[in-house]
Amino acid sequence: KWPEIIEHLRTEHEIMSVSFNTWIKPLTIYNVLEDTIYILVGSNASVEYIEKKYSLPLKVCVAEILNQEYEIVFVSKDDERIKPSETTIEEINYKKQIQSLADKANLKKKYTFDTFVVGKNNEFAHSSSLAVAESPGEVYNPLFLYGGVGLGKTHLMHSIGNFILEKNPDAKVLYVTSEAFTNEVIEALRAGRTSPEETAMSRFREKYRTIDVLLIDDIQFIIGKTSTQEEFFHTFNELYDAEKQIIISSDKPPKEIETLEARLKSRFEMGLIADISSPDYETRMAILKKKIEIDNLERYHIQNDVLSYIASNVKSNIRELEGSLNKLIALYRLGNNEGEIDIELASKALKDYISPENKREVTPELIIDIICEHYNITVENLKSNKRNVEISFPRQIAMYLIREETSMPFKGIGVLLGGKDHSTVKHGADKIAKDLKEDETLRNTIEILLKKIDPS
């Protein structure tokens, strides 16, 4: 895409051809690492000059063409200071390798111990997680983390996995949600039924039983199915007997998960159980500040009284705490950055989030939020006209679930989903309803979504 980017730069920023040929054309991509692009500057050009003059326009063009923001760093072959030494190349390769290992392990790189704020509410869960990460299989096995929605369980689990991989790239780490695990079991059983050999099932077993560290998130959704619990029980026992580390999360302690078989409950109680509760005011402030630092939001100069207003009002869910901050910044940008980020704006941003203790209602908006979070896509995308399956499938699920769970007619659903017509919505909802009859994994997924929508 590089030629396209510099061509865009040339036309959008009306760069004279002599300037273009002298400065821009000789640039080559040196490396791309996570969110930074390293650009090699030719030997007879000045890095400082190019940086000063072109780094910002280039950054804008890159974001426009690639639909993603990158930092731009110019490097020169001759410049001793930034000359990439052998070790940096090695380091770069090492990081790349870790990245691809993290991908294989289903780990999100942004969730690490470094970005996790420790407070009274989570210090025990945090220190237990760190101990397990430092000595997998040796101290607390299994480690069972539990706590309410949005309090940092998933963040801690990824932190453990990332820490272990960073220290030992050879470790076989695997993070799965219990939904993914259940669907894999269902698939393997189905494939085993249609083909004479049980290859799918043995492949499944092979995969899970050769793992060093298994992280299984939201175990409360291993529901009802004896076959899945059976399979999980055996996986658990084999890993446990081989002294492999198992980390489990749930919204409740083992003994309170009704759908869980007694023998699994007692297995889960063999190790260490750590809970995470709601953060206090100081911790909420610290999390907001950390988030500002990580997302480079300092430039908005949000005053302490505004942060304190958010932290005093959003109490029980850290995801909502982050959401309020994002909403605040979105509102500020929408207003063309006029005015100030003040408490008045913050109170607007919080309208969606401050819901006094009263029971939340199942609204179409809630269903959309839950589906988007579940599939890790944005609400914007869900409401778009994009047709790729990563987006159109969750959109059809939204059509189906809103229709089933609320009284909204197809027409209203269409409007809510970014202006789809009645027949599109009906078609989507009908398709899911029809597929549900045959597709057991879809049934499992819908069952889990329904639990997320209405946990009671």
Binding site for ligand ADP (CB under 6 A): 111, 115-117, 122, 147, 149-155, 287, 290, 318-319, 322
Strand 143-147 relative to strand 71-76, pairing: unpaired
CA quadruple 342, 346, 347, 353: dihedral, nearest 10: -170
Name the token pair of 307: 């942060």
322 touches which of Mg ion, ligand ADP, none (CB within 5 to 8 A by kind)?
ligand ADP
| Contact stretch for Mg ion (CB under 5 A) within 105-113, 154-162, 181-189, 357-365 | 154-162
Of the pair 152, 161, the CB lying nearest ligand ADP is at 152
- CB distance 140 to 147 below 8 Å: no
Closer residue to ligand ADP in complex, CB, 92/272: 272
Cβ(446)–Cβ(436) below 8 Å: yes
Smallest gap, in angstroms, from Cβ of residue 232 to ligand ADP?
19
Residue with tokens 């189906």: 400
Residue 95: both structure tokens together: 């990081």
Are the beta carbons of 239 and 211 closer than 8 angstroms? yes
Shorter beta-carbon distance to ligand ADP: residue 129 or 228: 129
Single-letter amino acid code for the residue at 203: R
| Alpha-carbon radius of gyration of the chain | 25
> How far apart are the C-alpha atoms of 384 and 386, rounded to whole Å?
6
As a whole number of angstroms, the distance between CA 144 and CA 216 comes to 10
Answer with the entry of Mg ion, ligand ADP, none that 318 interacts with (C-beta below 5 to 8 A by kind): ligand ADP
Residue 149 interface partner, choices Mg ion, ligand ADP, none, CB cut-off 5-8 Å depending on type: ligand ADP
To ligand ADP, the closest distance from the beta carbon of 181 in angstroms equals 16
H or E stretch at 257: none
According to DSSP, residue 21 is labeled I
Q: How far is the CB of 276 from Mg ion (least distance, A)?
A: 11
Shortest Å, Cβ 15 to ligand ADP: 40
Write down the least CB distance from residue 219 to ligand ADP, Å.
Answer: 12
Report the C-alpha gap between 66 and 113 in whole angstroms: 30
Length of the chain: 456
Query: Which window, 16-24, 153-161, 204-212, 377-385, contacts Mg ion (CB under 5 A)?
Result: 153-161
3-class SS of residue 34? coil
Q: CA quadruple 119, 217, 445, 107: dihedral positive or negative?
A: positive
Nearer to ligand ADP, 173 or 287 (CB): 287
Nearer to ligand ADP, 54 or 146 (CB): 146
How far, in Å, CA of 229 to CA of 260, rounded?
A: 8
58-66, 92-100, 148-156, 380-388 -> range binding Mg ion (CB under 5 A): 148-156
- In a 13 Å sphere around the CA of 33, the CA atoms on its Cβ side amount to 16
Strands (E), 380-454: none
Residue closest to Mg ion (Cβ): 154
Element (H, E) at 225: none
What tokens were used for 384? Answer: 């778009």
Residue (154 or 182) nearer to Mg ion, CB: 154
129 counts as binding Mg ion under rule CB under 5 A: no
Residue of 121, 122, 128, 154 interacting with Mg ion (CB under 5 A): 154
Measure the CA–CA gap between 352 and 177, rounded to whole angstroms. 28
Least separation in angstroms between residue 97's CB and ligand ADP is: 25
> Cβ of residue 455: shortest distance to ligand ADP, in angstroms?
12
Mention every residue, 6+ apart, whose C-beta is less than 8 A from residue 248: 142, 143, 144, 145, 215, 216, 219, 268
Q: Which is nearer to Mg ion, 24 or 276 (CB)?
A: 276
Closest separation in Å from C-beta 156 to ligand ADP: 7
Among the listed ranges 4-12, 146-154, 344-352, 396-404, the one in contact with Mg ion (CB under 5 A) is: 146-154
Total number of residues binding Mg ion (CB under 5 A)?
1
CB of 146 to ligand ADP, least distance (A): 9
Residue 155 touches which of ligand ADP, Mg ion, none (Cβ within 5-8 Å per kind):
ligand ADP
Closer of 142 and 147 to ligand ADP (Cβ): 147
**Comparison of 122 and 445: residue with beta carbon closer to ligand ADP:** 122
Residues that bind Mg ion (CB under 5 A): 154
